[in-house]
């Protein structure tokens, strides 16, 4: 079976007012169905830019990106983005309407079925209590869970998560991570997850792509991450190994 | 190695006589917490001061009492003069306000879809926004003659720029995340504007509409004072001017009061209601 998402030799550049910045250089990786694929690296390694490119928000300078064999040219609902920012929910719609919104806008489902599906996914993230609330009344963790429900309700080919838990407090972040894994156990969705936290990468991912900064290049790929466990200390050892990998990179760069 | 100990305390356990957690407010406190009640009290106080000063001055030609004004106003409302004049003013206002908003919408949509459109709008607003609409009236009179055409022209001028300016700056300040969310669902062109930009910028748009309304209402009354009569039926501004010429000062005051009351109704009833049901409910009030 060919990969669901195939990124080959992608170089991404963006312009600021005075210079052209190379965010990533010839990055290749592929994501299979039901992968929890993590892009990990320090700030400046272009991981978020890479995710935005997969989302279709920018075109690669060179290289190709394909999803299901189709080349990625523009944003589309087959790749649902989940952002770090809390303002990704539409403030003028209730929680339920927010989850229904993409289903209706893409004419995926008629209103009645959209509502049923939205309610089902909100139940999965245990937010049935607040379906009729407006986003500004929710806590940060709840907002992110609504965004996840909204992304999942579309049942996209792949979920693109851009540090969705980075702005949460430590306790809420852990709950959200556990919940995401629980959801994955239930539906086995495919997710491309960006983070700068090594611990989060190990907890969430089954594969990790390690990127080096300035410009972003692939440093290593770590597979079978889901085999390690925090109980026997293997997760801790992996964390140290990854840390050392990143650390030696910065040491040689200077 | 020591071990931490947990000491349970009984403070949090509910006992029979609990501390006061909630207390009902007294009727007076409840009333005083209502902004409407407080403002009504201020209005009553001002009316009393007015009445006292008017009685003290005892010169209805300069400053009629509150009582006289209200009686005249009541009479003029009952014989249909004020409602008719107010309606004449409002009709012109709606025409100008509506046309101004439509033009503002067209300008703003052009401005967000092309860069040259943005430059056009920014240059035009920079030039015309500081120009008081009433300053165009002499010119309008030459172009459109004595009549509603001239009034509508100056009204459009007073509405168009503030509404376009606020809408445009509202669109520009829509967060990048929301824009990306909209595009993620394949929204483009007009559906994107209607589904994402307009609701996201609604606070600014509403501010623009409020400023536009205030400008339009002031401009209209002022313009009517200058000529006012068209096809035999003037508006409120003309009513004020006419009664001043007849030295019917209580009627002048009644006219002014009507202008204030209509302004208050639109700002506090119509716009407040829209605000309460939109930006306040959404928590996006700017």
Cα(A73)–Cα(B183) distance, integer angstroms: 13
Chain A residues with CB inside 8 Å of B186's CB?
A: 75-77, 105-106
Residues of chain B contacting residue A102, judged by C-beta atoms under 8 Å apart: 184-185
Report the first-to-last Cα separation within chain A, whole angstroms: 43
Structure tokens at A243: 């840390």
The predicted structure's pLDDT at residue A253: 47
pLDDT of residue A254: 45
- List CB contacts (< 8 A) between A91 and chain B: 200, 282-284
- Give the separation between CA A64 and CA A28, rounded to whole angstroms: 9
Q: Rounded to whole angstroms, what are the CA distances from A47 to A54, A77, A216, A246? A: 11, 21, 8, 14
Does A199 have pLDDT greater than 90? no
Average pLDDT over every residue of B68-89: 91
| pLDDT per position as a tens digit, A128-179 | 888 889 999 988 888 988 999 999 898 888 999 998 888 888 888 888 889 8
Residue B116 contacts by C-beta under 8 Å, 6 or more apart in sequence? none
**Tens-digit pLDDT profile for residues A9-55:** 888 888 888 888 888 888 888 888 888 999 988 887 888 888 899 88
Two tokens at B131?
């120009």
Q: Lowest mean pLDDT of A215-219, B19-23, B71-75, name the range.
A: B19-23
What does the pLDDT average to over B36-41?
Answer: 88
Nearest to B283 among A81, A88, A91 (CB): A91
Question: What are A161's two structure tokens?
Answer: 């998560």
Residue-level pLDDT at A249: 54
**Closest-CA residue to A24 (of A52, A57, A3, A4):** A52
CB contact under 8 A, A75 and B202: no
pLDDT at B24: 79
> Minimal CA–CA distance to B107: which of B95, B119, B98, B96?
B119
Contacts of B181 in chain A (CB under 8 A): 81, 83, 88, 90
pLDDT of the residue at B232? 57
Closest chain B residue by Cα to residue A91: B282
3-state DSSP call for residue B162? helix
Residues B92-151 have pLDDT tens digits of: 999 999 999 999 999 998 898 888 999 999 999 999 988 988 888 889 889 988 888 888
For residues B36 and B260, the model is more confident at B260
**Percentage of residues in chain B having pLDDT higher than 70:** 93
Q: pLDDT-based confidence at B254, cuts 50/70/90?
A: very high
In the predicted structure, residue B231 carries a pLDDT above the cut 60: no
Residue in B184, B191, B282 closest to A91 by CB: B282
At B236-252, the pLDDT tens digits run 888 898 888 899 999 99
Look at B8-17, B82-91, B131-140, B163-172 and tell me which has the smallest mean pLDDT. B8-17
To the nearest whole number, what is the mean pLDDT of chain B? Answer: 87
Q: Mean pLDDT throughout B150-163?
A: 92
The alpha helices in chain A, defined as continuous H runs, are 47-54, 95-105, 111-124, 140-153, 170-187, 198-204, 234-253
Q: Give the rounded percent of residues in chain B with a pLDDT score beyond 90.
A: 45
């Amino acid at each position: 079976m060919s990969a669901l998402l195939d990124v080959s030799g992608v170089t991404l550049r963006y312009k600021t007012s005075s210079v052209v910045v190379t965010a990533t250089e010839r990055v290749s990786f592929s994501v299979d169905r039901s992968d929890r694929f993590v892009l990990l690296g320090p700030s400046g390694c272009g991981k978020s830019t890479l995710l935005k490119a997969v989302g279709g928000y920018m075109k690669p300078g060179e290289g190709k990106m394909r999803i299901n064999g189709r080349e990625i040219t523009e944003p589309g609902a087959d790749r649902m983005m989940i952002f770090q920012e809390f303002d990704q929910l539409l403030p003028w719609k209730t929680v339920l309407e927010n989850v229904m919104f993409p289903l209706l806008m893409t004419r995926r489902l008629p209103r009645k079925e959209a509502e049923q599906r939205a309610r089902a996914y909100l139940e999965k993230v245990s937010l049935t209590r607040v379906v009729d609330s407006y986003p500004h009344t929710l806590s940060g963790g709840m907002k992110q869970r609504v965004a996840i429900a909204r992304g999942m309700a579309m049942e996209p080919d792949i979920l693109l998560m851009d540090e969705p838990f980075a702005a949460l407090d430590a306790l809420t972040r852990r709950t959200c991570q556990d919940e995401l894994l629980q959801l994955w156990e239930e539906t086995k969705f495919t997710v491309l997850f960006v983070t700068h936290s090594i611990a989060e990468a190990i907890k969430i991912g089954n594969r990790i792509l390690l990127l080096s900064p300035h410009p972003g290049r692939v440093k290593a790929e770590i597979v079978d991450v889901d085999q390690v466990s925090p109980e026997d200390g293997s997760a801790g050892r992996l964390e140290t190994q990854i840390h050392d990998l990143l650390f030696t990179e910065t040491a040689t760069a200077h | 190695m020591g071990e931490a100990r947990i000491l349970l305390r009984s403070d949090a356990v509910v006992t029979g006589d609990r501390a006061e957690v909630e207390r009902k407010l007294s009727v007076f406190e409840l009333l005083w917490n209502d902004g409407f009640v407080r403002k009504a009290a201020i209005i009553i106080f001002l009316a009393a001061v007015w009445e006292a000063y008017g009685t003290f001055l005892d010169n209805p030609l300069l400053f009629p009492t509150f009582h006289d004004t209200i009686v005249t106003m009541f009479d003029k409302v009952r014989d249909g003069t004020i409602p008719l004049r107010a309606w004449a003013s409002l009709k012109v206002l709606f025409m100008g306000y509506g046309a101004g908003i439509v033009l503002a919408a067209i300008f703003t949509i052009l401005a967000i879809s092309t860069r040259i459109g943005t430059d056009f709008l920014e240059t035009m607003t920079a030039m015309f926004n500081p120009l008081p609409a009433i300053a165009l009236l002499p010119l309008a009179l030459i172009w459109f003659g004595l009549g509603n055409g001239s009034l509508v022209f100056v009204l459009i001028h007073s509405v168009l720029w503030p509404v376009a300016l606020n809408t445009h700056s509202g669109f520009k300040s829509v967060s990048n995340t929301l824009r990306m969310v909209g595009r993620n669902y394949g929204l483009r062109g007009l559906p994107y504007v209607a589904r994402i930009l307009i609701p996201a910028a609604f606070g600014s748009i509403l501010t623009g509409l409020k400023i536009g309304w205030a400008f339009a209402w002031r401009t209209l009354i002022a313009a009517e004072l200058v000529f006012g009569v068209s096809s035999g039926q003037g508006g409120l501004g003309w009513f004020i001017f006419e009664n001043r010429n007849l030295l019917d000062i209580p009627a002048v005051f009644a006219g002014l009061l009507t202008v204030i009351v209509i302004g208050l109704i639109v700002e506090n009833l119509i716009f407040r209601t829209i605000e309460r049901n939109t930006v306040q409910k959404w928590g996006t009030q700017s």
